[in-house]
Amino acid sequence: MSDKTDKTEQQRLGVFKTYKLYVGGKFPRSESGRVYEVTDAKGKWLANAPQSSRKDARDAVVAARKAFGGWSGATAYNRGQILYRVAEMLEGRKGQFVHEVADAEGLSKSKAAEQVEATIDRWVWYAGWTDKIAQVVGGGNPVAGPYFNLSSPEPTGVVTVLAPQESSFLGLVSVLAPVIATGNTAIVIASERAPLPALSLGEVLATSDVPGGVVNVLSGRTAEIAAPLAAHQDVNAIDLAGADDVLAKELEIAAADNLKRVLRPQPVDDWTATPGTDRMTAFLETKTVWHPTGSLGASGSSY
């Protein structure tokens, strides 16, 4: 047999990656069995992504609600450690995300690397805020009378997050990290056009210390998935970052059925800019405890 034949026979086919949803710490295929083609910025096929159904959305809500008690009850310091661990895992898989972001957004490898590094830094930034945000937005209140009161923030609950369509990774983390840093659980609807970095992030979360159900990642048609989540009675808040004006209005109306907190789309020119605390405080509630002093006794009340 000739050397040419040997070389031909030794060639191997690459292993194509099967992308799946991330719900409740597991990787299910879409309940509907549907997929849709994901292409790069030039229209070249990249992968088939799962097209989530309403049933997938409901399953994600159940998983997020189940995880909320444990996650919100964890210490802020512990949540910070876990978020930092996610950054560590992303650092180790940086090459994979550079490749996916470059394909998704039509960037050069060097520009994509800058985006991925900024994303990792964003995780670290929010990890550092977990045990500080309460000191910034809470504290003692000046009151006149024989009592004092203290206000402290608490997480809102289950939050649906529509990831930005144009920023497949940095924008995604910029809207997801503040939600879970403050003790909420999240259902993420990945960018419809470029969902692969979000689906790969699910793999990172699964191999870090983030408990299953704290983050749930769905891919597919944004409007189809978002509609049932906006109207779902067990979803407490929704971030409309990835919705256009028409969809945002429809979802805001649906969310009013059970008085959800709604964070409206905000024009963002540069996701690399240092974020403020707005996205953390958007999904926090304030609890105030009143405590009498002096002759009124030691009993207290709160609202």
Query: Residue 140 above 80 pLDDT?
Result: no
What is the structure's pLDDT at 269?
A: 61
Token pair, residue 95, equals 């090459």
| Mean pLDDT score, 57-74 | 97
Domain of 171: which CATH number? 3.40.605.10
Question: Domain for residue 5, yes or no?
Answer: no
- The single-letter DSSP state of residue 49 is E
pLDDT at 5 over 90: no
Amino acid, res. 129 = W
Q: Is 13 among the domain residues?
A: no
pLDDT in tens, 227-268: 999 999 999 999 999 999 999 999 999 999 888 999 998 876
- Parent domain of 146: 18-268+275-302
Token pair belonging to 247: 């969809």
Tell me how many domains the chain contains.
1
Is 216 within a domain? Answer: yes
Q: Per the domain annotation, does 228 fall within a domain? A: yes
On average, the pLDDT of the chain sits at 90
> Does residue 3 belong to any structural domain of this protein?
no
Cα separation, 149 vs 145, in Å, equals 11
